[in-house]
Amino acid sequence: MEIFHGRPEDCRGREAREVRTYDLLDRLGVEYLRTDHAPATTMEVCKEIDRVLDVLICKNLFLCNRQQTRFYLLMMPGDKPFKTKDLSAQLGVARLSFGSEDFMEQFLGLHPGSVSVLGLMNDTDKQVRLVIDEEVLRDEYVGCHPCQNTSSIKLRTEDLLHKFLPAVGHEPTVVRL
């Protein structure tokens, strides 16, 4: 895997959602490093990406309440176990489960395996609440997919919090898992 500064020189053959992500980051003046790779479908692949980019790729989980009326995007360290009970209590939600592919596509414009905080750029109706484990915010950089799991990027946590999220109209809820 190679590391590149910014977007690919030639975006032909890339998914439109990935190109739109680069367009937005560039418009916002967010600098990032990128690597391209085979689909990141396992944590083992993500660990190799972590090593190459020297960043922890976040685990991003698309969740909903039992009634499927409230939706959440959880960012947490990839190596940390997820316990729905802990998060449910902090959010005041009786029971959380994984959101369906249909809702993920409808609200975030993403498919399973490509879930990323950057997908919030597609949530123009603000249907998804961003939840971030406090541990993610301790690092200078955050790693995620640019809405496609065949590339990964490393950007400053400050840029995510103070450039990207305000631009897409989302404010994070910080939790301790």
Condensed to tens digits (0 to 9), the pLDDT of residues 38-91 reads: 888 776 777 888 899 999 888 899 999 999 999 999 999 988 889 899 999 999
Q: Using alpha carbons only, what angle is made at residue 34 by residues 31 and 35, rounded to the nearest 5 degrees?
A: 170
Tens-place pLDDT, residues 46-58: 788 889 999 988 8
- Structure confidence at residue 69 (pLDDT): 95
Q: Which domains, ranges and CATH numbers included, belong to the chain?
A: 4-175 (3.90.960.10)
The average pLDDT across 160-167 equals 98
Burial of 76 (0-12, 13-18, 19+ CB in 10 A): buried
- Structure confidence at residue 157 (pLDDT): 97
Burial of 161 (0-12, 13-18, 19+ CB in 10 A): middle
The percentage of the chain sitting over the pLDDT mark of 70, rounded to a whole number, equals: 99
